[in-house]
Structure 1
Amino acid sequence: MRSLSICMVSDFFYPSMGGVESHLYNNSQCLMQRGHKVVIVTHAYGQRRGVRYLAGGLKVYYIPAQIVYSNASLPTFFCTFPIFRQIFIREQVEIVHGHQAFSTFCHEAILHARSMGLKTVFTDHSLLGFGDASGIFINKLLKFTLSDVHHAICVSHTSKENTVLRAALEPQQVSVIPNAIIAEQFEPDSTARDPRWITVVVLSRLVYRKGVDLLVAAVPRICAQHARVRFVIGGDGPKRIDLEQMREQHQLQDRVELLGSVAASDVRSVLVRGDIFLNTSLTEAFCIAIVEAASCGLLVVSTRVGGIPEVLPRHMVTFAAPEEDAVVEALSETVGLVGTREQHAELAPVHFHRQVKRMYSWHNVAERTERVYLKIADAPEPPLIERLRRYYGCGLVAGKLFCLVAAVDFLIGVVLAWLWPSERIEIAQGFDYARYRAEIGRGEDQEKEAH
């Protein structure tokens, strides 16, 4: 099988937590196991800057950048070209894979990669509307990026329809590859639950898009209707103060526990405390959190938005419209179901876990992503005039602006190639993944023999 050198690029990566970060890390690890070279480029997080190696030899470039909002870096257009070019040449990158429409680094890396003649892939992890100012701006930016990308990936069929409309793409140019989890890390544990309570767990960024306003309205009503229900809420964000005020106003300190930010390693220990997982998102392309919750054996209550109806079988989840009354009704119905789970074999936590394990695997995601890479790896490179023609079709005014940006970026690439020829850039030493796995295996064998 052909081995490829891949560069994943996004503003969103560890130590930040979220679905994009998890997707980048786990997909990269599985691609490395399949024999490919993978490096990740993101912006610096505090003191975490420069080059770092993560588990399995995954190499990460943390580039210093100014952050403007929600971990997205300040747009610089051409200023990142020199450092991206150095990385692409040092790592002998063949395919640049950008993630998330909100990531500035993603768009800039794809632009620079195309100016260097590299193959590009884009994965969209979000849904956006068409009527608000931010949505219009991001959609136009996405149209610019995807006009010259070789292939696009979406995490759900709903997300694909949204992206095809937003970027005016041909549907056959977009593949659907869902997120996944490591099911072994999310096994049920019935001993962790408190039998005196019916515990509802919420794990989410506490922002408007995640429906925290719905949560604030629903919690007091559910607590008033069901004396045995309590809430465990993990996550942080600007909406946390609303939850704290709600808890104080309704005197629910003993029934609403706010955990703050939860580390990835602690997610399972929080989930297994619960009987029900509540998701109140207003928009969601996939929602990996409900998959983790179902794998831990929790019943799921979620708003019916975006790609969420595609994620889990109907017996695992109760849907509600993104409205206060609907969320309260769906949650009350599920609270009544908790006590009868033992009477229904298909609702057993262990059965949930086994089903999720069969449905979602990062190895399957990596295999499907690999097919996309191999499909575009030998695609012919269009001339510059063809690339400019694609940009020109992006709009009466925007098209001309996009052509100017692409032309200037191409000329900057020519100047950089003259100032720092690629033959003068030192090639980075590769990580011997096969040797690493062999050493790990020997260590495990020696440990077993010692016991």
Structure 2
Amino acid sequence: MESLKIALVSDWFFPSVGGIEYHIHDLATHLVEMGHEVHVITRFGNYPDEKLPYDVHRFRGRVTMDSFHVSIGTDALKQINELYKMEHFDVTHGHSIYSPLAVGVANLSAGIRGIPSVITNHSLLGDSILNPAYITLLRISLRKVSSFIAVSRAVEGDTRSILGRNLGKREIYTIPNGIDADFWEPPEDKEELKESLGLKGVVVATTSRLTKRKRVHVIPAIAKSVKEEHGENMTFLIIGDGPERETIERLIRQYRVEDTVKLLGRQPREKVREYLQASDVYLSPTIYEAFGIAALEALACGVPVVANNHGGISEVVEHGKTGLVSQDDGELVQNLMALIDDEEMREEMGKNARKSVEDRFSWEAVIPEVLDVYERTMNRGGGNPFLLYRFHQALKRGVADAGVFNL
């Protein structure tokens, strides 16, 4: 494939940190290494963009919700339209159908500039009484997007359900999130690393934003059950922060597992890697997981995963090979104890986990699939322009000074 000029778009990008933010950064970096030109379009924020190996364009909209890291408005879209007229992108790749900026620019790209657009859905919708209204809004706002990527089969099904008949002949491609397998790698000496971090016994790690949906609050009760079975030679690590932190702290005290459960808060990426490398098992208690990038990072570090068999994480973890998947919390505890008791099984699954990441989830495996979607989407063309834009173009052709919209 010839070199492409690619726009990656999302509200969620540095300086905020999370799965989508790092996904965009890693995708952009690897595309540049392959000879493509990449521009990231995102919201305003204070970050040393000049140190990144690709161009970053930041825009501030009239509507800003800092707690959700969202900023959007017609003024921002007008500025982005000018950027598109200047840069002449080949394809637009938005990230998250729940990102107003990604959706707005994908529509601008395909519906005004005639440039094919793709959006990756990274999330599951979940349950809410507002879902019917939300789905209607999504169907309307996604109507000009040329094609879609889903990060798991669970997300693909969710996306098809959301779009319904509005999907039409557009394609949904299922491509997993990629991971930097050179960064997330097994340690040279796990026991030495444990000692340097002050950890004892079998170490069980969980990295997550502390929200009700992630269900990290069940870990203190699980730790109590494991402690009663295995004594003091256990350590549970909870890495992350969020609105449920106080609840989890209270539960740690309530179950009297202060000496077993360490709530470490948010940690730098390099420190998260150290804690994962020092871990023996990764525990994922969540149910609504679109993909499971945190679990994938653990697998890349050679750590077997115990998870619930729901959402996309069960597509990442191969039961009996790279970890154990469970139907409910009772089985989750049983599977966790089984791995704690069997060091040989942990080591075998850890080796399988690392190989699985290299074969299926490394950027070297994922990028060709993404580029194939770009090519397929571009071959289909830019889609149908908005009716208002077609009217505007007709005016421009018929009236000399009809460029009032400056589109």
Instruction: Give the TM-score range, shorter chain.
Output: 0.7 to 0.9
Out of 289, 292, 298, which is 1:293 matched to? Answer: 298
Distance 1:232 1:417 in 2: 63
Q: Matched residues in 2 for 1:170 and 1:120: separation?
A: 16
Alignment correspondent of 1:418: 403
Letter of the aligned partner of 1:162 in structure 2? D
- CA shift digits 1:7-66 (9 cap, x unpaired): 111111123222212221111122222222111111123x34xx82343x2111232355
1:101 corresponds, among 97, 101, 108, to 97
Native 8 Å contact 2:9 2:41 kept in 1: yes
Q: Provide the C-alpha distance between the structure 2 equivalents of 1:240 and 1:381, rounded to a whole number of angstroms.
A: 46
Match of 1:333?
A: 338
- Tell me, yes or no, if the aligned pair for 1:98 and 1:110 is still in contact at 8 Å: yes
Q: What TM-score comes out, normalization by structure 1 length?
A: 0.78
- Please say which of residues 194-203 and 36-45 is displaced more in the overlay: 194-203
Identify the residue that residue 116 of structure 1 maps to in structure 2.
Answer: 113
Deviation at 1:187? 2.0
Q: Residue by residue, what CA displacement relative to the aligned partner does 1:333-362 show, whole Å, maximum 9, x if unpaired?
A: 22222x3348x7x33x44532342222221
Q: Cα distance, 1:290 vs. partner?
A: 1.3
Within-5 A mapping of 1:14-93: 14-45=14-45, 47-48=46-47, 52-55=49-52, 57-65=53-61, 67-68=64-65, 70-74=67-71, 76=73, 78-93=74-89
Which residue of the partner structure matches residue 374 of structure 2?
373
Give 1:433's aligned residue: none
* C-alpha RMSD of the superposition: 2.9
Sort the Cα spacing of 1:383 and 1:290 in 2 relative to 1 into closer, same or farther, 3 A: closer
Q: Secondary structure of the residue that 1:278 maps to in structure 2?
A: strand
SS at structure 1 position matched to 2:178: coil
CA-CA distance at 1:288 after TM superposition: 1.4
Post-superposition offset of 1:293: 0.6
Give the superposition deviation at 1:70. Answer: 4.9
- 1:201 counterpart residue number: 205
Distance 1:285 1:261, change over 3 A: same
Q: What SS does structure 1 have at the residue aligned with 2:177?
A: coil
Which runs of no fewer than 5 residues in structure 1 stay unpaired? Answer: 389-406, 423-451
Contact 2:200–2:234 (CA under 8 A) maintained in structure 1: no
Contact 1:8–1:40 at 8 Å: present in 2 too? yes
Deviation digits for residues 95-144 of structure 1, max 9, x if unmatched? 22111122111111122222232211111011124x52343344223322
Matched to 1:60, the amino acid is V
Alpha-carbon spacing, 1:332–1:58, altered in 2? closer, same or farther (3 Å): same
Residue 40 of structure 1: SS of its match in structure 2?
A: strand
Counterpart CA distance in 2 for 1:219 and 1:147 is 47
Q: Which amino acid aligns with 1:261?
A: R
Deviation at 1:69, TM superposition (A): 6.4
Q: 1:86 to 1:167 in 2, by over 3 A?
A: same
Identity %: 27
Q: Distance in 2 between matches of 1:137 and 1:296?
A: 42
1:384-443: CA deviations, max 9, x gaps? 4xx56xxxxxxxxxxxxxxxxxx489869x999936868xxxxxxxxxxxxxxxxxxxxx
Q: Which amino acid aligns with 2:194?
A: R
Q: What are structure 2's unaligned runs of at least 5 residues?
A: none
CA-to-aligned-CA distance 1:209-229 (integer Å, 9 cap, x gap): 212233344233333333222
Q: Which position in structure 1 is the counterpart of 2:9?
A: 9
Give, in angstroms, the shift of residue 164 of structure 1: 1.1
C-alpha distance in structure 1 between counterparts of 2:282 and 2:84, whole Å: 42
Whole-angstrom CA distance in 1 between matches of 2:295 and 2:181: 13
| CA pair 374-242 structure 1, distance change in 2 beyond 3 A | same
2-structure distance, mates of 1:261, 1:353: 25
Name 1:395's counterpart in structure 2: none
Q: What is the total number of aligned residue pairs between the two structures?
A: 390
- Which of residues 296, 316, 320 is equivalent to 2:322? 316
Deviations 1:354-395 (A, max 9, x none): 3422222213322111112122224345554xx56xxxxxxx
Instruction: Pick from 282, 287, 291 the counterpart of residue 282 of structure 1.
Output: 287
Structure 2 counterpart of 1:281, one-letter code: T
Aligned to 1:230: 235
* Mapped contact 1:282–1:322 kept (Cα < 8 A): no
SS in 2 for 1:80: helix
Aligned residue for 1:79, secondary structure, equals helix
